[in-house]
Structure 1
Amino acid sequence: MTNTVANKELVITRIFDAPRELVYQAFVDPDQIAQWFGPVGFSVPRDTIDIDARTGGHQRMVMVSDDDPNMTSPVDARFTEVIENELLVGAEEWDPTPGEAEPVAMYMRLEFHDEGDKTRIVLRQGPYTEEVEGMAREGWNSSFTKLDNLLGS
Structure 2
Amino acid sequence: MTDATASKELIITRTFDAPRELVYRAFTDPDQIVQWFGPVGFSVPRDTVEIDARVGGHQRLTMVSDDDPNMTSPVDATFTEVIENELLVGTEEWEGIPGQQEGGSMYMRIEFHDEGGKTRLVLRQGLYTEEVADMAREGWESSFTKLDTLLVD
Q: Same fold by TM-score, threshold 0.5 exceeded?
A: yes
The 5 Å alignment of 1:115-126 reads: 115-126=115-126
Matched residues in 2 for 1:139 and 1:92: separation?
16
Matched residues in 1 for 2:93 and 2:60: separation?
13
Matched residues in 2 for 1:114 and 1:90: separation?
21
Matched residues in 2 for 1:85 and 1:108: separation?
16
Larger Rg: 1
What percent identity do the matched residue pairs reach? 79
Question: How has the CA–CA distance of structure 1 residues 149 and 130 changed in structure 2, closer, same or farther, with 3 Å as cutoff?
Answer: same
Matched residues in 2 for 1:89 and 1:17: separation?
23
Give the number of aligned pairs. 146
Provide the residue aligned with 1:12 in structure 2: 12
User: What is the CA RMSD across the aligned residues, in angstroms?
Assistant: 1.9
TM-superposed CA distance for 1:94, in Å, is 4.3
Q: Which amino acid aligns with 1:67?
A: D
Matched residues in 2 for 1:43 and 1:152: separation?
20
TM-superposed CA distance for 1:103, in Å, is 4.8
Q: Does 1:145 align with 2:138?
A: no
Provide the residue aligned with 2:50 in structure 1: 50
Gaps of 5+ in 2: 96-100
Matched residues in 2 for 1:139 and 1:64: separation?
13
The 5 Å alignment of 1:1-153 reads: 5-94=5-94, 103-152=103-152
Q: Secondary structure at the match of 2:38?
A: coil
2:74, 2:94 within 8 Å by CA — same for their partners in 1? no
Question: How has the CA–CA distance of structure 1 residues 102 and 142 changed in structure 2, closer, same or farther, with 3 Å as cutoff?
Answer: closer
Q: Which amino acid aligns with 2:23?
A: V
Gaps of 5+ in 1: 96-100
TM-superposed CA distance for 1:30, in Å, is 0.2
Matched residues in 2 for 1:76 and 1:104: separation?
11
Matched residues in 2 for 1:34 and 1:93: separation?
20
Matched residues in 2 for 1:135 and 1:4: separation?
19
Per-residue CA deviations over 1:111-143 (Å, capped at 9, x if unaligned) read 000011100000000000000000000000000
Q: Secondary structure at the match of 2:143?
A: helix
Per-residue CA deviations over 1:67-111 (Å, capped at 9, x if unaligned) read 00000000111000000000000102347xxxxx99522110000
